[in-house]
Chains A and B, each alone.
Chain A
Amino acid sequence: MNLLLQFLVDSILLGGLYTLMAIGFSLSFGVTRIINFAHGEFIMLGAYGAFWLFKIWGVDPLIAMPAIIVLGFATGWLVFNSLIKRVLAAPNINQILLTFGIGLVIQHIAVILWSGNSRSTTPEYALQALTLGEVFIPYGRLIGCAVAVALVALLIAWLKITEGGRAVRAVAQDEDAATLMGINVKAIYALSFAISSALGVATGVVVSFIITVTPFMGFPMLVKAVAIVIVGGLGSIFGMALGAFILAFTETAFAYYVPEGSGWSEGVAFVLIMVILIIRPHGLRGQAEA
């Protein structure tokens, strides 16, 4: 019985972590429909940013987060305008390869600059946990969950309330109609890509004290993000969060209750993808479209 309580805690915390990984990606994929293969690398950059600030000046990652988010926003804007804008009209495969190439370049610049060694930030709270009887709740992950909830709420609010957010939703629904409405579509694409990069970088900051930081940490997170967005459905932030928690619960269930389950749990993401794609391709809460 006590396993069950810890299982629930772990699942929820992992769900928060997965939400973080997917949130930036769901914005860029949901709107611009570019599968941004470099999203994992933006997370990695955020993690390294937090790490170096922590190591050299002892700045707590959470305090460094706003500055790093701004940097992430600027980087995303730059990358979009210099590189990605040019393949918006090209076939899907060009965009995939372009962003993968960008990811590869960022990865190896990181290797050259910072070496392939494993890093981590170690603020005080990252190594402590709240203990309630038999159950323990690590503070680091709890904070990660809190940040995830905050970011999701902020993003949904931004999309619903602000002009920019509503323009983004308009472009996602129908690009031509949005142009007719006087929306500068190219600028909206750039904006949403920059925000998704900022979100990715924020994720990296939080993740720096939860997961090991290496230049190669990005791609597995991208794969998870893809699974989550597919399950949750394109265009729906709430669906993405739902997808993240479903994935987290299923994986943790495997890890706890199936012998050698941890090994198989990696496959859960892919089985879920297949199941959703076959039964309901537009995901749990996505907009039904080709």
Chain B
Amino acid sequence: MRLDSLLRYAGFILAFAVLAIPFLGLPGLADIVFRTCTLAIIAISWNMMAGAGLISLGHSGFWGIGAYTAALCANHLGIAFLPSLFCGLISGALIGVGLALVTGRLRGIYFAIATLAMSEGFRIIAIMLPDLTGGAQGEYLKSTLFPGTQFVYIVASCGAVCAAAVSWLVSRSRYHYAFRAMRANEQAAQMVGINPMRYRLTIMALSGALASFAGAINVWNGGYLDPNVAFNLHTTLMAQIAPILGGIYTIAGPILGALAAMGLGEGTRLWLGQIEGVSLLIFGVTLVACVLYLPKGIYGGLERYYASRMRPVYGNRADLKDPKP
């Protein structure tokens, strides 16, 4: 079987599993699936921006904005679960649009640092306005509005499947070519007639919306929010580790990477978590090893494996053994 058809089948099975697991009544498994889904959503979101050549070091900014919007809508405006998620989504898209407008033509490392500045700026604002955001002490979500753990898990699973579908759709659309061109060389793309600003606005709005959705649903699961957690560097890090592990710029990459990262994180925490400092250490070592030895991620590894197993088209035809001049 070819790699892409294998992955397609695997994708369908995975989507089905992810949607079914919340109904099985296994709370431990459902919890891990939930965290994998939110990680997959933000990984897909980061990967989409990276696919257009925009490396973001501040994805936690989107996550936090989505979380705070959902929490504040619920607590201060009494908005219910699903509408608050929608508010989070919209806020993420707006921030994405804002970021695109503010950063204009910035590329590469400069753009990355601008995103870092954005997310840190949000964190400081959240700390310094305790009347609005609960400040450094944090804010609890009003428990009366909680729709039930199972429903939250189901929505997260649906979100993950939708995010994967969105990224697949984008890769099938015309936009895809523009993004690849921009990623390779934005100036050259401009010369070919691609208006970078338009595509930047689109991809950042989309990416921001997804990441904020992930943050928003996460706050409903956790029930507690504070600025250091909402705008945590760790979130940005995971949003990057997953696509890199899985295979950057691919569709399956962020998903494979989310599964691998979650497995690694849980494995080190469960089996080595009793010794101080070890679990995060192992994570760091794995990160270094993956960057050095698996630069194209798991997807790249799979590709290489399939390529090595593929029989050449012209097989063992005798007449090719001695090509005549």
**B-contacting residues of A (Cβ < 8 Å)?**
33, 35, 83, 86-87, 90-94, 96-98, 100-105, 107-109, 111-112, 115-116, 219, 223, 226-227, 230, 260, 263-264, 266-267, 269-271, 273-274, 277-278, 281, 290
Contact = CB atoms under 8 A, between A and B. Distances in A.
A104 B287 contact: yes
Contacts of A266: 120, 124
A36 to B, nearest CB: 12
Given A290-B107, A290-B108, A260 B128 contact: yes
B109 interface: yes
B287 A97 contact: yes
Contact of A94 (B107, B244, B277): B244
Given A104-B280, A112-B278, A97 B128 contact: no
A105 B240 contact: no
Contacts, number: 131
What secondary structure prevails in chain B residues at the interface with A?
helix
B102 A274 contact: yes
A97 B240 contact: yes
B295 A90 contact: yes
A170 B114 CA distance: 28
Interface residues of B, number: 45
Interface in B110-127: 110, 112-114, 116-118, 120-121, 124-125, 127
A105 B233 contact: no
Given A98-B288, A271-B121, A35 B109 contact: yes
What secondary structure prevails in chain A residues at the interface with B?
helix
A108 B284 contact: yes
B201 interface: no
B128 A111 contact: no
A216 B117 CA distance: 20
Interface string B234-245: 000100110010
Q: Which 5 A-B pairs have the closest CB atoms?
A: A104-B284, A101-B287, A108-B281, A111-B277, A270-B117
A96 B241 CA distance: 11
Contacts of A92: 55, 108-109, 112
A227 B288 CA distance: 25
Given A97-B244, A108-B280, A277-B113, A102 B288 contact: yes
Given A100-B237, A109-B277, A278-B103, 12 more contacts: A86-B292, A90-B295, A94-B295, A101-B285, A104-B284, A105-B284, A108-B280, A226-B113, A227-B117, A267-B128, A277-B106, A277-B113
